[in-house]
Amino acid sequence: MNILHRGFDRLELSIEANIPPELFEYLDPIREEAEDARESRAVSYGGAEFDLLPHGVQGYRFILQSGPLPVTWFFKKPNARDPWGIRIVVGSLMLATRGLGYVRTHIANTLERLGVRYGPRQVSIGRTDFCVDILAPDFELTPENFVIHSHSNRADHLTPEDHTLSNGKSGRFTSVTVGKMPGRQVTIYDKRLEVTDKRKPIWWDIWNETRKAEGLPPLDPKDRSESRIWRVEVRAGKRIMKDRWGITTWEDFDAKFGDVIAEAFEKIRYCEPDPTDTNRARWPNHEIWDIAKVDADEDLTELRSHVGASAVKEVHKADQIKMILALALGNCTTLAALEGVESDDLQGYMQDMGERLRTEIQADPERAANKLSKAKERYRFVG
Task: Express as a percent the part of the chain with pLDDT over 90.
Answer: 51
- Per the model's pLDDT, the better-predicted residue between 94 and 155 turns out to be 94
CB burial of residue 280 (10 Å; 0-12, 13-18, 19+): middle
Least confident of 22-31, 111-120, 146-155: 146-155
Name the DSSP letter for residue 224.
G
Q: Are 81 and 16 in contact (CB under 8 A)?
A: no
Q: Average pLDDT over the chain, rounded to whole? A: 86
Instruction: Write down the pLDDT at residue 294.
Output: 80
Asked if 86 contacts 102 with a C-beta cutoff of 8 angstroms, the reply is no
Nearest to 312 by CA among 189, 190, 209, 167: 209
* pTM of structure: 0.79
Supply the pLDDT for residue 323. 80
Q: Render pLDDT for 187-243 as a digit per residue (tens, 0 to 9).
A: 999 999 999 988 888 899 999 989 998 999 999 998 888 899 999 999 999 999 999
Pairwise CA distance, residues 2 & 292, whole Å = 9
**Given this model, what pLDDT does residue 304 score?**
57
pLDDT score, position 63 = 97
pLDDT at 153: 32
The per-residue pLDDT for range 340-358, each reduced to its tens digit, is 999 899 999 998 988 889 8
Q: How confident is the model at residue 161 (pLDDT cuts 50, 70, 90)?
A: very low
Whether the predicted pLDDT of 37 surpasses 80: yes
Distance (Å, rounded) from C-alpha 244 to C-alpha 246? Answer: 6
Is the pLDDT score of 292 beyond 80? Answer: yes
Dump pLDDT digits (tens) for 96-143.
888 898 899 999 999 999 999 999 999 999 999 999 999 999 999 888
Query: 64, 73 in Cβ contact below 8 A?
Result: yes
The pLDDT of residue 314: 73
**Mean pLDDT for the stretch of residues 323-331:** 87
